[in-house]
Amino acid sequence: MPYAISDEKRDWYRLVSARSRQRKKAASNGELTVGGRAVNRPNLQPEDLMPRREQHGLRALSLFSGGGGLDLAFERAGYEHVASFDILEICAATLRQCRPQWQVCSGQDGDVGQVDWSSFTGKVDVVHGGPPCQPFSIAGRRSGSQDDRDMWPAFIAAVLKIKPAAFVAENVPGLLDAKFRAYVDEAILKPLAPQYHVVKFRLLASDFGVPQVRKRVFFVGFRSSEAAGNFRAPPPTHRTANELFPLAHHTLGAREALGLPNIGHDCFAPTIRSGFTGPRKSTSILNSKASQAVWRQLCIWPNGVQKNREAALMFPPENGHFRLSVQDCAVLQGFPEGWVFEGAAYQIIGQIGNSVCPPVGYAIANSVAQALGVDASSVKR
């Protein structure tokens, strides 16, 4: 449904859009000054949040792989990668670019709802993935099972056919709201109950070193009651810098993480918008009016994200704030610089925003390995 806005407001949007196009053209011609600024160099190195583990023998299969947040996380945690499945070709292009040796299935072959999983039975220890969250998110109108993007049944069918020792599924926190309690009980927990012991919990990305206010819910299931009894949701590895009794590590604010000058204020970035499959090819990561105020306080411009840092530097916003590149957004999501996303800027933002923050996935992967009786503490040298 279109937004109901006044003619006056619509005219204002048109003027803003026209002025933006003019400035973008001027930037491409090198006509905008940048005030002597240099390209930023991030202080946060996300790979340091995920020390690479020695392979321990567990094999992981990825469903709804997207930009590869969980795929990368499980790899860093020492799992052998079996295959990745995603219907979107641009996501598969990213995975193939970053890991040419991986088996990646896309398009019709990557449609999780249409795959015959019998060939994977007995060959996979952990199935992981994030069924599309739009049916349960505010931005997705929260239609639940009435939304044709609801792929939980397909995920569960794959798990029940493959029979892995464990599975990990991620979604938006709204899935645990009272509105969807019956859906969770009937569509998720009930079909799994005969074979799996399932726990569900919420995690906050900033608790694991990711400089972003991002909450997500996870469902973790085990075939063995002993493994389920051994499992513990991963405890925080990081805290904010100003807590009275902080852990050894603190999570950087967004500005410090991106290597931006100290302006006397820093905080975590708001949740990066994850609207990838919508009708608009937007290069904005803004997800609410409330988040707009936070970005403003950070003096970071959340709209018109550019393909690289050099292009962002040459296209300063009118208010003088820092313009983000897709590489900056990846850092704020917890992706290492070496994980290169394919596609146009809006496609890259979509892949980033839809992904599980890799350091969060890494913590869960380690906890699952420990519950399955595997030593996941050995760091690769």
Distance CA(342)–CA(98), nearest Å, equals 9
Residue count of the chain: 381
Tokens found for residue 46: 């996300």
Please state, in angstroms and rounded to a whole number, the distance separating the CA atoms of residues 28 and 24.
Answer: 6
CA–CA separation, 226 vs 232, rounded Å? Answer: 12
Which residues are tagged catalytic?
Answer: 133
Tell me the torsion sign for CA atoms 81, 87, 88, 93: positive
CA–CA dist 269, 240 (Å, integer)? 13
Computed on alpha carbons and rounded to an integer, the radius of gyration of the chain in Å comes to: 21
CA distance 380 to 313: 37
Contact 335, 352 (CB under 8 A): yes
Residue pair 76/336 in contact by the 8 Å Cβ criterion:
no
Nearest Cα to Cα of residue 70 among 17, 29, 131, 16 = 131
Encoding tokens for residue 322?
């820092």
Give the pair of three-digit tokens for residue 159. Answer: 């798990």
Q: CA-to-CA distance for 235 and 364, rounded, in angstroms?
A: 10
